């Protein structure tokens, strides 16, 4: 009897020390003591128990109770774990007290995991840290540039009208923020949450209009916006990793001993931990940077979700850039570039280079925006964009003839473009993919332009050789009369603008675009421009008090067909009255007259995508600086 009791006591002790498992066993209790009854309906007679046996029984039951309590705690902890996993979008109840309790529990678990420094990742070697730091900043980076890149978080604007946008307070990292912003808009506008079983599954080129409009951006919940942000970050990192891996970088600056107050919000803990923290050298980077590589998109999203407060902190933009560079691989980054000796963050103002923007948009850190590559001879090439993209790119520099953006970037899968100026990056987008749809004639013009560009070896200069012209005519089925052909080839090379004018005057049955009627019509649609940098604006609801906020501008765009002769571009003037007393008629004609087009540098960028587009807006002109 004593041996059986000792065995049960040892079992209870072993159970109380067992580690957690997926299916924790139920605690084993002592068997109830035997009882005997004297007769039917009589009270049971309990066997007499010695003081020694009674003491051993009580000790055994206390230990069994302790084991049961421990396993109940294990079960409760396991039931909370899914709160940190990637939940199916659109299934969570964001209202009610129970949902609030779950969010609070998840936040507490997240605080504990981040604070305890669990699984923060691996250190970089000294050589890797040196290579990374000098690749990004070079050898003569100023403290001002480092301050720009270590004081910019990835955070949404608190202003209701621009709450879907990432706000920028420091110059420099705008190229990173604008690119992430483009992908955030993709998920908010074109990828329904309920259909994204795989968060990184590339949606088809179809679209189902949802209720999101500029007027109700403020109605987007914080969870919806943050889910779009996390998915965007994961997609960009996997694109950098050739859709095979993503590397997430974070900082080992929190209290790993778990000391201190962990009851406060995680962002406040991180803010306090970053007080006085700076990165001024490769050594600082090597001591504090921790990286983790993921091949599973779900695991990467879960990690980004858990570490989102770190990316929202003042180190966020720099950490995401480092994550993208390491996802691509430092050696691959250098192989992508035309001149690997230059820093990725340009001097002297610390702007993100075109290589950074292309890396985040296309997954390759190429320096050029044309399609494919240009053969310079002797085994030397200039590398361009090699594949279609989700989010595109337009630049003011193209309107100034400094470069030529290829069709990969100019015609992305979704109507969203990062817009580059000489010193800043912003975002242009539409709410409907139809703005990119082409009719039969537009598609033909696009094929001709692609054939022309394929023969252009000038780096986007817009001219080809005579041999190249004959190849274009053959591929596109254009039957050019001999007199026009001789005149076009007289200089020994052919410029696109001259070739296009010839096609505009060539009958359609010969492969041209001549339209004597001018009845081809024109496109009219809306575009929206978002500038994330916080600037002072007048608060119309509270007098004339200026406040800091990003800006979003709606543009009405009118695009005539590119082959419409110039004489048909002008609107028909209303008939004039010879009678001086017909004032009412003049006023009516003036009222229906089209609003004159407005101009700003953004319009020049738009015209690189839609030639001869006219734009109108209300209020201040959109700013791309």
pLDDT for position 14: 59
Does residue 465 form part of some domain? yes
Q: What is the DSSP string of 38-90?
A: SSTTPPEEEPP--HHHHHHHHHHHHHHHHHHHHHHHHHHHHHHGGGGS-PPTT
Task: Specify if 422 maps to a domain.
Answer: yes
Tell me the pLDDT band of 537, cut-offs 50, 70 and 90.
Answer: low
Cβ atoms within 10 Å, residue 291? 19
Question: Looking at the structure, do residues 442 and 400 belong to the same domain, yes or no?
Answer: no
Query: Which pair of tokens denotes residue 592?
Result: 């229906």
Same domain (yes/no): 352, 469:
no
Q: Which of 435, 461, 494 is the last residue of a domain?
A: 435
Confidence band of 26 (pLDDT split at 50, 70, 90): very low
Q: Looking at residue 216, what DSSP letter applies?
A: G
- Distance (Å, rounded) from C-alpha 330 to C-alpha 49? 76
Task: Please state which of the ranges 84-88, 357-361, 513-517, 613-617 shows the lowest mean pLDDT.
Answer: 84-88
Whether residue 546 lies inside any domain: the answer is no
pLDDT band of residue 513 (cuts 50, 70, 90) is confident
Residues 192 and 323 in one domain: yes
| For range 460-473, the mean pLDDT | 89
Shared domain for 374 and 451, answered yes or no, is no
pLDDT recorded at residue 24: 45
The first and second tokens of residue 495, run together, are 């410029």
Shared-domain flag, residues 350 and 490: no
Is the pTM value of this prediction over 0.85?
no
Question: What's the pLDDT band for 30 if we cut at 50, 70, 90?
Answer: very low
Residue 505 — very low, low, confident or very high, per pLDDT cuts 50/70/90?
confident
For residues 238 and 374, state if they share a domain: yes
Query: 390 with 492, same domain?
Result: no
Q: How confident is the model at residue 472 (pLDDT cuts 50, 70, 90)?
A: very high
pLDDT tens-digit map of 275-286? 888 899 999 999
Weakest mean pLDDT among 208-212, 229-233, 329-333, 573-577: 573-577
Q: How many CB atoms lie within 10 A of CB 494?
A: 24
Residue 141 pLDDT greater than 60, yes or no: yes
86 vs 223: which has the higher pLDDT: 223
Residue 458 has pLDDT above 80, yes or no: no
Tokens of 532: 């994330």
**pLDDT tens sequence across 373-411:** 988 888 898 999 999 999 999 999 999 999 999 999 999
Kindly report, residue by residue over 238-276, the tens digit of the pLDDT: 999 999 999 999 998 764 433 444 556 777 888 888 888
Look at residue 186 in the predicted model and tell me its pLDDT.
Answer: 97
Give the residue ranges of DSSP H helices in 354-395: 354-362
Our count of domains for the chain comes to 2
What is residue 287's predicted lDDT score, i.e. its pLDDT?
92
**85 in a structural domain:** no
Residue 503 lies in a domain: yes
Token pair, residue 312, equals 């929202």
Residues 282 and 222 in one domain: yes
How many Å apart are CA 373 and CA 367, to the nearest integer? Answer: 11
Q: What is the pLDDT of residue 548?
A: 72
**High-pLDDT (> 90) share of the chain, %:** 51
User: What domain range is 490 assigned to?
Assistant: 438-510
Mean pLDDT of 600-608: 97
Identify whether 207 is part of a domain: yes
Which residues are within 8 A (CB) of 424 and not within 5 positions of it... i.e. 6 or more apart? 174, 351, 531, 533, 624, 625
Alpha carbons 406 and 608: distance in angstroms, whole number: 11
Distant-in-sequence, close-in-space partners of 25: CB < 8 Å, separation ≥ 6: 15, 18, 71
Asked if residue 410 lies in contact with residue 394, where contact means CB atoms within 8 angstroms, the answer is: yes
CA separation for the pair 328, 244 (Å, rounded): 10
- 356 within some domain: yes
Q: Rounded to an integer, what distance in angstroms lies between the CA atom of residue 361 and that of residue 176? A: 10
- For the cut 80, the answer to whether the pLDDT of residue 358 exceeds it is yes
Residues 494 and 364 in one domain: no
In a domain, 463, yes or no: yes
CATH of the domain at 462: 1.10.238.10
Sole residue written with tokens 């302790």? 66
Shared domain check, 459 and 343: no
What is the distance between the alpha carbons of residues 333 and 318, in angstroms, rounded to a whole number?
Answer: 17
CB atoms within 10 A of CB 476: 16
Q: Are strands 493-495 and 463-465 parallel, antiparallel or unpaired?
A: antiparallel
Q: Answer yes or no: do 467 and 407 share one domain.
A: no
Of 488, 510, 532, which one is at a domain's C-terminal end?
510
For every residue of 291-333, DSSP letters joined together read: EEEES-HHHHHHHHHHTHHHHHSTTHHHHHHHHHHHHH-HHHH
Give the end of a domain, one of 407, 435, 463.
Answer: 435
Of the listed ranges 25-34, 110-119, 238-247, 521-530, the least confidently predicted one is 25-34
Q: Residue 105: is its pLDDT beyond 60? A: no
Residues 404 and 263 in one domain: yes
Instruction: Provide the Cα torsion 514, 518, 521, 525; round to 10°.
Output: 90
């Amino acid at each position: 009897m004593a041996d059986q009791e000792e065995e049960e006591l040892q079992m209870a002790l072993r159970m109380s020390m067992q580690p957690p498992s997926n299916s924790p066993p139920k605690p084993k209790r002592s068997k109830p003591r035997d009882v005997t009854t004297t007769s039917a309906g009589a009270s049971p007679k309990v066997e007499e128990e010695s003081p020694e046996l009674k003491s051993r029984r009580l000790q055994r039951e206390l230990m069994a109770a302790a084991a049961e309590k421990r396993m109940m705690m294990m079960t409760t902890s396991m039931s909370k774990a899914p709160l940190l996993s990637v939940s199916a979008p659109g299934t969570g109840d964001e209202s009610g007290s129970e949902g609030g309790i779950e969010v609070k529990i998840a936040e507490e678990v997240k605080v504990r995991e981040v604070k305890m420094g669990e699984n923060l990742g691996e250190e970089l070697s000294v050589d890797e840290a040196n290579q990374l730091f000098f690749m990004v900043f070079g050898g003569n980076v100023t403290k001002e540039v480092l301050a720009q890149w270590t004081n910019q978080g990835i955070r949404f604007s608190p202003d209701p009208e621009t709450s879907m946008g990432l706000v920028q307070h420091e110059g420099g990292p705008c190229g990173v923020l604008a690119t992430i912003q483009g992908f955030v808009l993709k998920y908010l506008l074109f990828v329904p949450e309920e259909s994204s079983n795989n968060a990184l599954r590339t949606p088809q080129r179809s679209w189902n209009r949802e209720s999101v409009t500029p007027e109700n951006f403020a109605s987007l919940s914080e969870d919806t916006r943050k889910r779009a942000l996390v998915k965007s970050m994961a997609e960009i990192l996997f694109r950098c990793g050739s859709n095979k891996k993503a590397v997430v970088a974070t900082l080992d600056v929190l209290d790993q001993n778990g000391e201190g107050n962990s009851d406060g919000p995680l962002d406040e803990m991180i803010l306090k931990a970053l007080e006085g923290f700076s990165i001024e050298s490769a050594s600082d980077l090597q001591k504090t940077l921790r990286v983790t590589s993921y091949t599973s998109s779900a695991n990467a999203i879960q990690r980004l979700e858990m570490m989102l407060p770190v990316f929202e902190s003042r180190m966020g933009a720099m950490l995401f850039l480092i994550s993208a560079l390491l996802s691509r691989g430092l050696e691959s980054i250098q192989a992508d570039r035309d001149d690997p000796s230059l820093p990725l963050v340009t001097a002297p103002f610390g702007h993100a280079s075109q290589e950074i923007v292309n890396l985040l948009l296309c997954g390759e850190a190429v320096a050029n925006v044309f399609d494919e590559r240009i053969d310079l001879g002797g085994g030397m090439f200039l590398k361009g964009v090699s594949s279609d993209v989700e989010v595109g790119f337009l630049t003011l520099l193209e309107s100034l003839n400094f470069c030529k953006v290829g069709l990969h970037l100019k015609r992305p899968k979704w109507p969203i473009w990062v817009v580059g100026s000489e010193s800043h990056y912003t975002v242009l987008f539409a709410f409907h993919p139809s703005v990119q749809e082409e009719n039969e004639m537009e598609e033909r013009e696009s094929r001709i332009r692609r054939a022309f560009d394929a023969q252009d070896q000038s780096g986007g200069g817009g001219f080809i050789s005579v041999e190249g012209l004959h190849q274009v005519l053959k591929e596109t089925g254009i039957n050019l009369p001999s007199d026009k052909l001789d005149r076009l080839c007289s200089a020994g090379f052919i410029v696109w603008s001259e070739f296009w004018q010839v096609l505009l005057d060539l009958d359609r049955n010969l492969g041209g675009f001549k339209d004597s009627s001018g009845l081809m019509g024109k496109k009219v649609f809306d575009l929206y421009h978002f500038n994330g940098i916080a600037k002072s604006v007048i608060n119309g609801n509270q007098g004339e008090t200026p406040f800091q906020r990003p800006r979003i501008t709606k543009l009405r765009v009118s695009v005539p067909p590119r082959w419409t002769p110039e004489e048909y571009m002008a609107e028909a003037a209303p008939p004039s009255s010879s009678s001086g007393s017909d004032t009412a008629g003049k006023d009516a004609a003036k009222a229906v007259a089209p609003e004159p087009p407005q101009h700003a540098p953004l319009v020049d960028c738009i015209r690189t995508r839609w030639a001869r587009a006219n734009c109108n807006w209300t209020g201040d002109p959109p700013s791309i600086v």
